[in-house]
Every structure is written in structure tokens, then in C-alpha cells.
Amino acid sequence: MPYLDRFGPARATQRMRLACRGLAMLAVLAAIAPAAQAGESAAPVPRFVALRSDKVNMRTGPGAQYPIEWVYQRKDLPVEIVGEFDNWRKIRDAEGTEGWVHERMVTSRRSILVEGRIRALHDRPEAASRIVARAEPGVIGKLLACDPGWCRVEIGGVAGWLPRDEIWGVSPGESVP
């Protein structure tokens, strides 16, 4: 036992206690690490979010070292998160294009994109109700609520109802309070 002779029994016991504490600490960290992976959210995937800025770089992979494939230039554009890796979110836009953006470039605020042709905003969730405004395809609006067939939105300061199938930014069957 050269180790005990060199440092003495008390010193060896102290080192052994420190080693045991270190191993115990590593065991605790290993147990909680999967539950708290850096940057990964507890939110479900897929889910809809909106772009936070007027300039968002979409990359080919989850990191700044990957090339920029596309630059979005529309703040509040709805996108769907379809994957997560560390602080990066894999998104899909309304046209089906997929790529990676940093988590800071998206917000949980909900928005919608008007699809197809010019759409009528109604004052109630009924096709026969009064039309309060019309929105062209590509217009972005704020999502306020959704029931099974209709979504309440705000576009250009005007609130109204649009049929769910006339917009992009809401999952089928999703209820938005």
C-alpha cells in the first residue's frame, strides 16, 4: 500500500470521501441530464410558432457552421416546428420548405397565413354572417382562437372569423383558446 504510506491513512480516507462525493454528484447529474437537455423544450413537436424577426436565416443543419439555405424576411410568418436539436429548431413553412433556425428566431406567438384566394373575414363563425373585411392570399394575421371549423383572427387591426381550411398555421383538430 504505497498510497497509504505516502499520504497517511487520514489523507487517504479524505481523498476517498471526496472521490465518493464526486461520483455521487456525477450520478445525480447523469440522472437529470436527459430530462433537461440544453435548449430542447418540453413543448410538443410538431407545433406552430411565428418568426420573431424580419430577417431569419434558415440553415441546412442545426448549427451556425451549416450554410444558409434561405433568408425569411417576414416577421410573424407562421412556421411549424418539426424537430429540435439543442438550441436549433427544424421548421417547415407553408410551402413545405424545411430547414433549421436558432430558437431565438421563433416566438410562441401564434399567427396565420391566408391561403388560396381573397378570403372574407366574418363577424361570426358562420358563412352567412356579415363580412367585416377581405384578406388577400399571403396576408399574415394574428391567431386569436379556433374552434373545430373556424378561427378568430386579427388582420390589420380588424378582427373576424375565417374558415380553418382557408388559413395555414393551425393543426387539424387543434383547439386554440
- Can you give the CATH number for the domain in which 72 is found? 2.30.30.40
Largest CA distance in the chain: 94
Q: Global pTM?
A: 0.76
pLDDT for residue 94: 97
Domain identity same for 105 and 57: yes
Domain identity same for 100 and 125: no
In a domain, 42, yes or no: no
In a domain, 156, yes or no: yes
Better-scored residue on pLDDT, 143 or 18: 143
Mean pLDDT of all residues in the chain? 85
Domain identity same for 102 and 117: no
Percent of the chain beyond pLDDT 70? 77
**Contact (CB, 8 A) for 81 and 45:** yes
95-154: per-residue pLDDT in tens?
999 999 999 999 999 999 999 999 999 999 999 999 999 999 999 999 999 998 999 999
Query: How many other C-beta atoms are found inside a 10 Å radius of the C-beta of residue 101?
Result: 23
pLDDT for residue 173: 84
Parent domain of 103: 47-109
Domain identity same for 32 and 52: no
Q: How far apart are CA 3 and CA 1, in angstroms?
A: 5
In a domain, 85, yes or no: yes
pLDDT for residue 42: 80
- Which of 75, 93, 109 is the last residue in one of the domains? 109
**Contact (CB, 8 A) for 70 and 91:** no
Domain identity same for 127 and 101: no
In a domain, 175, yes or no: no
Domain identity same for 90 and 56: yes
Domain identity same for 123 and 157: yes
42-73: per-residue pLDDT in tens?
889 999 999 999 999 999 999 999 999 999 99
Domain identity same for 19 and 70: no
pLDDT for residue 40: 64
**Contact (CB, 8 A) for 60 and 94:** no
For residue 76, which of 138, 147, 9 has the smallest C-alpha distance? 138
pLDDT for residue 9: 52
